[in-house]
Amino acid sequence: MKHLSGLLLSMVMSGSALASSPHGYGVHYIHGEGDVRGVKLAYQYHTKSWLPDNWHHVDMYFESSVNFWRFGDSGKYDQNFVLAVSPVLRYPVMTLYNRPLSIEFGIGLALLEDTEFAGKNVSTHYQFEDRLGLVYNLGEANIAMRYIHYSNAGFKSPNPGLDFLSLSYSSKF
């Protein structure tokens, strides 16, 4: 047992163990139009098995998240709870201070608790979650700036969509 706990501790403390782990997390601060603010907590599963062999520079992960959105001041505010899942592709575009800067793209599905939020009627609880972002690799972790858009893709009117900017920190565990 002592050897097993020592092995586990050395794996946790080792950067190579973190880099090879497929499991990760992300913490996002999100800010949307009309002063919508929120937090997005995400679990990430990193894989290359779904990609063609010649896409060796592309990284892929699946992100499952829970979002907590708030609109308005503390005395009178509107809130929304959102579950989302999205496949995400990441491709390095340049090196900045000897670290990769990547572009990221994903389209997933989201389930909104309320269809009326921040003065908008988005018609459906089911929405698409589209994202486009820049991700900077810090070695053991990443920081990212993303544009995230929620919309029902015109399946039902009205479809005004909800737009957010996200600043996030992510790492593997």
As annotated, the active-site residues are 149, 151, 163
- Residues found in the chain: 173
The values of phi and psi at residue 22, to 5°, are -80, -10
Whose CA is closest to 157, among 130, 115, 122?
Answer: 122
* Contact criterion met (CB below 8 Å) for 82 and 113: yes
Per-residue burial over 5-15, b = 16 or more CB atoms within 10 Å of its CB, e = otherwise = eeeeeeeeeee
In one-letter notation, the amino acid at residue 7 is: L
How far is residue 87's CA from residue 89's CA, in Å, rounded to a whole number? Answer: 7
